[in-house]
Structure 1
Amino acid sequence: MNEDLISQIKEVVTAENQEKLIKIIQLLESSNYELRGKINPDLQLSASALVFKEDKLFFIEHPYQKELLLPAGHVELKESPLDTAIREFHEETGFFAKKMGKLVDVNLIDIPFNETKNEKKHQHIDFRYLLELEEQEAELAELPFFLLELEEAPEEFKKYYRYKNI
């Protein structure tokens, strides 16, 4: 069921992230549920967009967690994680990304209980894609967004600045 996702993850395994990615692959191999579309209440797929404008990376203010995160969201049924990253980047920032991207990381994220949405604590397997900004006028953004330089970025995202000139 998750063979396509596993093969994508295997393409980004390095000595630095091997242990983490093996754990994620094992979760995918053992899952009997469809992980797209929020069907599984315990483990879901999400995708994040890494988009630079010059030396600055786009971040959004998460509406519930009230922290700066990459533009991201749940992978919908019949949607690829790459398509999700492109869609969510546009929805959350109003800007457009080109319809191609490079998977650069995959993370297992613990999502806390959300009282507002009455969603129980769960985990996301988050696919992170480097996307290229399209040069066209932005539309209305769903969320407050910020363009941050390396020094301003939350610590967990600083490692992604190595991709800014790729």
Structure 2
Amino acid sequence: MKKCIVAGGILIEGEKVLLIKHKKLNKWLYPGGHVEVNETPREAAEREFQEETGIKVKVIGDKFDTMDPLVSPEPMPLTISMETVNYPNEIHYHYDLIFLVEKVGGDLLDGSWFSCEDLDKIDTYENVRKILRLAFQKRKEGKKVN
């Protein structure tokens, strides 16, 4: 079974989250994709977000500082999960790191904005709904640390 490391970003502005319609799965998802060679999950989340939406973002989140000059703290993901992905012609595992992100530039080219109340009405996966609700909760609590 193929195993991939993937990263995605959740952008919430005001009371709405930006989602894209995944072309292969035909479901509403947060932007994200495979981590490429010589790329960190943070870099992949930022790159994929811009490629899929046109909006340039940066990953945000708590950082654990070890105070070691050889260690660079990275923002912690909102969640990490192992997902079985059922593409039309193949099945594989995604080791999925999902980050909160904030906009730093660009213009929306693709995607739609949804409120937390919209989540039960859109065509997506239940685990995605739960992750999005967690993201709304964290943003409401002010969990935005760089």
Please confirm whether the aligned pair reaches a TM-score higher than 0.5, indicating the same fold. yes
C-alpha distance in 1 between matches for 2:48 and 2:79: 17
Q: Does 2:40 align with 1:66?
A: no
Shift of 1:130: 0.9
Matches within 5 A, 1:105-144: 105-115=79-89, 120-134=90-104, 136-138=105-107, 141=109, 144=110
Matches within 5 A, 1:1-166: 42-98=2-58, 100-102=59-61, 103-115=77-89, 120-134=90-104, 136-138=105-107, 141=109, 144-153=110-119, 155-156=129-130, 157-164=132-139, 165=142, 166=144
What is the alpha-carbon root mean square deviation over aligned residues?
1.7
Higher share in helix = 1
What SS does structure 1 have at the residue aligned with 2:78?
A: strand
Shift of 1:70: 0.7
Unaligned runs of 5+ in 1: 1-40
Shift of 1:104: 1.2
Aligned CA distance change for structure 1 residues 137 and 76 (closer, same or farther; 3 Å): closer
Please say if residues 82 and 101 of structure 1, whose CA atoms lie closer than 8 Å, have aligned partners that are also in contact.
Answer: no
Higher share in strand = 2
Identity over the aligned pairs, expressed in percent? 23
- Alignment-mate amino acid for residue 26 of structure 2: K
Aligned CA distance change for structure 1 residues 123 and 137 (closer, same or farther; 3 Å): closer
Unaligned runs of 5+ in 2: 62-76, 121-128
Shift of 1:101: 2.5
Please say if residues 45 and 126 of structure 1, whose CA atoms lie closer than 8 Å, have aligned partners that are also in contact.
Answer: yes
C-alpha distance in 1 between matches for 2:97 and 2:57: 16
Shift of 1:57: 1.0
Taking structure 1 as the reference length, what is the TM-score of the superposition?
0.64
- Alignment-mate amino acid for residue 38 of structure 2: K
